[in-house]
């Protein structure tokens, strides 16, 4: 009898076991070397393609204090149908409650070091579904508080979908009138949330040169894959330090709720480094389990079919007795949902992700699968998974309606469903990347007064310029 076939199919909680570390400062030499190699020099030739380079500051006490938010932890959560469940908690920073902390800290640190070395101010600009923007703002507030940069030397401007305002929070930047003006939080009302990227790119292409010429400020469009991969290399290095795959009794599968899978790509880049340097056996490379929602199942579609054709999503049948939509033809999609077109969490908004080929290639080479979950499935698993989250230190409201960030619950639901449906290798234990979890109690949401609506690149420039004064 395989472990998956064991009769006890429930979740079994583990004894409390936690190992913590800092994904940046614990591996600073490696991260610093990789950053410098990825961006050897600032990119200045085209203002619309400006980049600050990859130089990170020396690890002074102030810089250590700044990076203190980059904490992660490893938990032995328990077991399910014979599979040990482990959690890589990447959401410990209360200023963000998500994994976007790590990349944002490095992005802002690189920009601050550019300002220090060259004396030229920078405006970091990024479209965001919500979480990237929150993390960039949190990182900038930390940089100012720790004395890495002055408020008028380095600014952050983010552009979010208006529909996602419930995921945007008050912070140190919004609380101070001058910092709020310097670092506006812009929203764009469009039926397609991802079109913030289209508007953002248009603004940079049309106005970066003008901002530099009129105000002496570089505009850095930071929404670039490598900015996130470098930070997420630390996941593999941390695992190797606290629970190396080479010493584990069984092979592993790493599960992650994804939109573009930046985090898993960064993890595998870290695995490449460990294996290249002879620190880990390539034969022990973990599998990957992609978890998505029905709103954007593009990575799973690409993994299974090589394209993003929505016609490949199974057809659902409405059960009049329950009001649920059901299908049983494809185990990689929800068996039950309240709405086949639902958006479980607007964080996951990327369609046709540019990273799909890379992630599909990794899974084809190293193993893994993908699964899509519904809100109904997450709510059904909620009572079963809540004790595990509580043990890991997450506040779990009795009513799931109070959950604002579903990433972690999506990942855990995908793991349990994947085990039940044979999508996780029966000989594997599972590491869940805890990429985000926050509730009404963890954040004070912004009101409409805290955001600035825009509808054009010209309007974006207007509000960026408002805090730009002559340099």
pLDDT digits (tens, 9 = 90+) for 378-413: 999 999 999 999 988 898 999 999 999 999 999 999
Query: What percent of the chain stands above pLDDT 90?
Result: 91
Residue from 285, 304, 297, 291 nearest 418 by CA: 291
pLDDT tens per residue across span 83-136:
999 999 999 999 999 999 999 999 999 999 999 999 999 999 999 999 999 999
pLDDT tens per residue across span 187-223:
999 999 999 999 999 999 999 999 999 999 999 999 9
pLDDT tens per residue across span 122-174:
999 999 999 999 999 999 999 999 999 999 999 999 999 999 999 999 999 99
pLDDT tens per residue across span 55-65:
999 999 999 99
Give mean pLDDT, residues 43-70: 98
pLDDT tens per residue across span 301-332:
999 999 999 999 999 999 999 999 999 999 99
**Residues 389, 392, 395, 398: what is their CA dihedral angle, to the nearest 10 degrees?**
30
- Predicted pLDDT of residue 11: 79
Give mean pLDDT, residues 45-56: 98
pLDDT of 471 strictly over 50 = no
The CATH label, of 3.40.50.1100, 3.20.20.240, 3.40.50.970, 3.30.2420.10, for the domain at 11-18+72-94+227-442 is: 3.40.50.1100
pLDDT tens per residue across span 242-298:
999 999 999 999 999 999 999 999 999 999 999 999 999 999 999 999 999 999 999
- Cβ pair 120, 215 in contact under 8 A: no
Global confidence as pTM: 0.95
pLDDT band at 466 (very low <50, low <70, confident <90, very high): confident
pLDDT of 4 strictly over 50 = no
The tokens for 290 are 């992609």
Give mean pLDDT, residues 1-17: 57
pLDDT band at 372 (very low <50, low <70, confident <90, very high): very high
Name the H helices within 330-391: 356-366, 375-391
pLDDT of 345 strictly over 60 = yes
- Predicted pLDDT of residue 81: 96
pLDDT of 8 strictly over 60 = no
Residues of the chain within CATH 3.40.50.1100 domain(s) are 11-18+72-94+227-442, 21-69+95-225+444-466
User: What span, in angstroms and rounded, lies between the C-alpha atoms of 333 and 300?
Assistant: 9
Query: Which residues are bridge partners to 287 per DSSP?
Result: 253
pLDDT of 447 strictly over 90 = no
pLDDT band at 9 (very low <50, low <70, confident <90, very high): low
Residue from 343, 338, 341 nearest 324 by CA: 338
Q: Does domain 21-69+95-225+444-466 have CATH number 3.40.50.1100?
A: yes
Number of alpha carbons in the 13 Å side-chain half-sphere of residue 56: 28
pLDDT band at 52 (very low <50, low <70, confident <90, very high): very high
- Predicted pLDDT of residue 446: 87
The tokens for 327 are 């299908």
- Predicted pLDDT of residue 448: 78
- Cβ pair 230, 34 in contact under 8 A: yes
pLDDT band at 368 (very low <50, low <70, confident <90, very high): very high
pLDDT band at 6 (very low <50, low <70, confident <90, very high): very low
pLDDT band at 5 (very low <50, low <70, confident <90, very high): very low
Residue from 313, 311, 323 nearest 292 by CA: 313
């Amino acid at each position: 009898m395989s472990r998956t076939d064991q009769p006890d199919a429930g979740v079994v909680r583990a004894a409390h076991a936690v190992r913590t570390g800092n994904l940046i400062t614990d591996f600073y030499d490696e991260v610093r070397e990789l950053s410098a190699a990825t961006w050897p020099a600032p990119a200045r030739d085209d203002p619309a393609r400006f980049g600050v380079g990859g130089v990170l500051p020396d690890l002074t006490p102030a810089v250590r204090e700044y990076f203190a938010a980059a904490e992660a932890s490893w938990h032995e959560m328990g077991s399910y149908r014979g599979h040990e469940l482990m959690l890589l908690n990447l959401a410990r920073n209360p200023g963000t409650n998500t994994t976007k902390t790590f990349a944002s800290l490095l992005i802002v640190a690189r920009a601050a070091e550019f300002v220090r070395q060259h004396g030229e101010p920078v405006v970091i600009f990024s479209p965001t579904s919500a979480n990237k923007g929150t993390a960039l703002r949190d990182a900038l507030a930390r940089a100012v508080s720790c004395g890495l940069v002055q408020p008028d030397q380095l600014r952050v401007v983010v552009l979010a979908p208006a529909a996602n305002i419930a995921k945007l929070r008050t912070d140190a930047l919004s609380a101070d009138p001058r910092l709020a003006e310097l670092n506006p939080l812009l929203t764009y009302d469009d039926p397609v949330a991802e079109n913030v990227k289209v508007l953002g790119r248009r603004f940079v292409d049309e106005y970066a040169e003008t901002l530099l010429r009129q105000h002496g400020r570089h505009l850095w469009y930071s929404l670039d894959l490598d900015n996130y991969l470098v930070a997420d290399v630390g996941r593999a290095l941390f695992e190797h330090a606290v629970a190396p795959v080479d010493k584990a009794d069984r092979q592993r599968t790493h599960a992650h709720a994804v939109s573009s899978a930046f985090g898993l790509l960064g993890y595998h880049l870290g695995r490449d480094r460990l294996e290249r340097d002879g620190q880990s056996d390539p034969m022990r490379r973990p599998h990957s389990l992609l978890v998505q929602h029905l709103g954007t199942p593009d990575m799973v579609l690409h993994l299974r079919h090589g394209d993003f054709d929505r016609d490949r999503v199974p057809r659902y049948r409405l059960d009049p007795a329950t009001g649920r939509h059901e299908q049983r033809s494809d185990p990689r999609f929800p068996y039950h949902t309240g709405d086949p077109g639902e958006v479980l969490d607007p964080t996951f908004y990327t369609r046709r992700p540019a990273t799909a080929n890379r992630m599909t290639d990794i899974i084809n080479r190293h193993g893994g699968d993908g699964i899509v979950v519904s809100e109904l499935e997450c709510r059904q698993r909620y009572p079963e998974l809540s004790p595990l989250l509580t043990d890991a230190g997450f506040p779990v409201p009795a009513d799931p309606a109070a959950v604002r960030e579903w990433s972690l619950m999506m990942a855990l639901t995908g793991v349990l469903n994947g085990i039940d449906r044979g999508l996780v290798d029966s000989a594997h234990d599972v590491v869940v990347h805890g990429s985000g979890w926050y509730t009404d109690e963890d954040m004070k949401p912004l009101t409409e007064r805290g955001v600035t609506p825009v509808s054009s690149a010209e309007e974006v420039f207007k509000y960026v310029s408002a805090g730009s004064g002559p340099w």
